[in-house]
Structure 1
């Protein structure tokens, strides 16, 4: 607050960026473009949730199939949101579908071309998204008039891209399996004894899959790998999946196999009580974010680079709370759309399962941050490239794709490579010290390693998403070359060492309660 409020000498530089707020007459830092879109359209989004739920109830009464309703509502929604630009999206998804279908007998070539085209769409959209329909054909000029509620269709297409790849790669793999076995076994005929998730309790009213009197509920992992009949990979189901409204804008990401399973079988995790608690927690997180934006203007400070004569401690807090705001600005929309999906009887993965400040390991941090995306890249990039056998190659490929997927910027590509570089010391150190885990000093050595890890994670993310090159250079220069900076560095390292010990104990407490989320 001292580094970003009215009392700071640099306040005049960024006060014009601030907006009028609603908490005790204070201004609000609504300068983040991504979160401003969500915050300004929050009521509209809640209206879509209510309309969608009401129409779903009516469709059940009219006995309209779930997938047909998803397709119909999805088409109307995407046209309302993107206008005639939705035809650009339809063009991309149709080409990807065609590649998978035409080359299904050559799985390696099909997946290679699919990846080339789908990654290429990111560059195509970046370069040609402003090309008007009239520039292609004069008679299409009428399509330039209506661009929907969200003109930047290409931003949300990135999530559609992940679903495109999920559907088509799963189809190619399924077709290859059928070709080898010459046996297309539908899901309902598979005799599977699935373990019931420890997180849920079966209700008498919950639908079950019954195979020869064996009652089973598939776990999330089993839903990914359980084969579907090849007829399920139709163009209609493809569009129903891609345009599924609650998860269309920003996810969370759910694979096609999981989506199809849940469309036919309601999971026991879907309960009114759980949804209500989840909704109340969502409101609480939204209010926390509002309080921070009304009292800590660090986003505006970063945009205006207004840190002249600030101490290393102040600059580090500007960066640190920027990271917390980034975490919250992603968590809140993801939880809103997941809440919408839960109300619609589809349970996608939770994207943020641990507080950003409760992380001491780079590897574990990325498992908890955007968890559905993490699972997606592991399934479709990391494992096909050899998994842990070629960890460095897989990690470079994963973070290169993640960087390009976020935006076509060289800065983000450098960020992705820096993340991999910063993960290497943890991987090597873990292997070296693990044999000594029985010694009394092992925990404290890990805490020292955690301090280094936290610093490296903060530096990579502050450079990529908060302070940029100028702010990062100033912070490191002041911190390592001035007396006050060195004192700050030492004291902050002590604080992080203590925090790491607290994190270790929190995880031990979770294990004692039978919780192990591996992050």
Structure 2
């Protein structure tokens, strides 16, 4: 295998998650392959030109972002105070993002915790003869919860208790369902306004507050697990009390007692409780007895995924924990390659923070006198840093979980810049959260049917509120839905022309519009804010240089879209279609 092949394999989708493999079903795989163009376009004159554009424009983008945000820019004194001493080539580092700074400064502590947890799992389990993995998770998780949040874990425990009582003891499944959602959403507002309200009990108000005093920062992820437990449990109850019990003498087979034969006969059906794929695990046929308080708390406080996920549903977690580990966690070569990709992303992030101070520029709005190209690169690389600051912790925590024998979904399967569709972008960004949204909100509301836009509005309103109780983010959520509509309408009108030679170029034009809209929505919501976004738009459309930049940038985005199309075609020729 050539060095290029090794390089491409290292960065391939398949090294991230076995869920991204071609389908095991040969017929499904062939159907995907048939949809792809049979011949690669990489060696055509058209794509040689595109790669030439990449060779010129991408370095220029990096250079422009650096000159717009480093010490040679006239605005440097406005944001220099946010920089600190770095370790690369004697340069300063932009460690001004509070969220990533917390993670970056605590990486040694996190790696120590990974080692400690892994050793204890392997020593304590056989020593104490712990019969189920979830029992260890329960014990370690409760201790970890107190260590990280101290007496504030009492506040979390109130929410956990109320949620559990609603799911288990409200007799009407419909009432329990509505109560679960109502209480879950209300906790976001309660925490926002009353997270520091004193109880009047000295030990709680003034006791040890843990490593992270802001207990509500991690609560949003905890809420998803709370909801997942209740919703999975209520789904089982709706399916006829789930009359499935373990077969005597076999922990991996379940006898379906509802499939009764004639009098005196054994039940007709025995369900094999092994080798369920990721979709089947969402509805794993767990006995109702498994939905107990110990498994609930083990799942909620599962340490590798407690802080930030990725999200795994209760059914999936318990299946992997107590019934059948999936094969991917036993492939240590895959896990090691995954760890190397994590390290690669860390070093890319460190390079950006040492050579592009775009976060500090954004915080101080220090873009006075910059060209539209410079402002757009400040925004674009800000978005890349946001992507990386989420990807890096998620990959560390997923690596930890893989080491521990649980395989959650990969959260980021595409580079942020490798997106041209708003619809597909949300399938790749925070993928485990997207899967959670689809399972518990989008599909129950009706999915992509008659009320697709209304359902999307509900989804992104929840996403915005879940991220933060802030009007700006709620407006961002609605703006995203607004920007989805042109793509949905265009697909409905032009999909029938897919077989025509010009369809790829028309799609490229649509992709350019999509990319601009996605960038503007996310720059407004997460990077430049209203002032910066308005300044960028004014420069783009009110000045000669701005209009010239907009035209050239749109041309470059068209080239990028064609390359992205071909990357996905290459995946489909291997039988892979991740629909994003």
Q: Which bracket does the TM-score occupy, shorter chain normalised?
A: over 0.9
Give TM-score scaled by structure 2 length. 0.83
After superposition, where does 1:191-270 map in structure 2 within 5 Å? 216-264=274-322, 265-270=324-329
Task: Name stretches of at least 5 consecutive residues in structure 1 with no aligned partner.
Answer: 192-210
CA 80–453 in structure 1, closer or farther in 2 if over 3 Å, else same:
same
2:233 aligned counterpart, secondary structure = helix
Q: Confirm or deny that 1:39 pairs with 2:104.
A: yes
Q: What is the aligned residue count?
A: 493
Q: CA deviation at 1:59?
A: 2.0
Of the three residues 190, 203, 208, the one matched with 1:124 is: 190
Q: CA deviation at 1:188?
A: 2.6
Q: CA deviation at 1:109?
A: 1.4
Of the three residues 305, 318, 330, the one matched with 2:390 is: 330
Q: Which residue of 2 aligns with 1:314?
A: 374
After superposition, where does 1:90-489 map in structure 2 within 5 Å? 90-103=157-170, 105-132=171-198, 136-137=199-200, 139-141=201-203, 143-179=205-241, 183-186=243-246, 188-189=253-254, 216-264=274-322, 265-270=324-329, 271-389=331-449, 390-489=451-550
Check conservation: 2:152, 2:204, Cα contact below 8 A. Answer: no
Q: Which residue of 1 aligns with 2:79?
A: 14
For 1:189 and 1:77, the matched residues in 2 are separated by 34
Where relative contact order (Cα < 8 A, 6+ residues apart) is larger, the structure is: 2
Of the three residues 137, 144, 149, the one matched with 1:82 is: 149
For 1:185 and 1:456, the matched residues in 2 are separated by 52
CA 144–483 in structure 1, closer or farther in 2 if over 3 Å, else same:
same
Q: CA deviation at 1:213?
A: 11
For 1:380 and 1:215, the matched residues in 2 are separated by 24
Check conservation: 1:385, 1:393, Cα contact below 8 A. Answer: no
Of the three residues 92, 111, 135, the one matched with 1:27 is: 92
Check conservation: 1:178, 1:184, Cα contact below 8 A. Answer: no
CA 159–214 in structure 1, closer or farther in 2 if over 3 Å, else same:
closer
For 1:346 and 1:144, the matched residues in 2 are separated by 37
Check conservation: 1:74, 1:245, Cα contact below 8 A. Answer: yes
Task: Name stretches of at least 5 consecutive residues in structure 2 with no aligned partner.
Answer: 1-65, 247-251, 257-268
Q: CA deviation at 1:178?
A: 2.1
CA 190–17 in structure 1, closer or farther in 2 if over 3 Å, else same:
farther
For 1:276 and 1:61, the matched residues in 2 are separated by 26
Which string of whole-angstrom CA distances, capped at 9 and with x for unpartnered residues, describes residues 30-74 of structure 1? 000110000000000000000000000112321223111101110
Q: CA deviation at 1:25?
A: 0.9
Which string of whole-angstrom CA distances, capped at 9 and with x for unpartnered residues, describes residues 317-342 of structure 1? 00000000000000000000000000
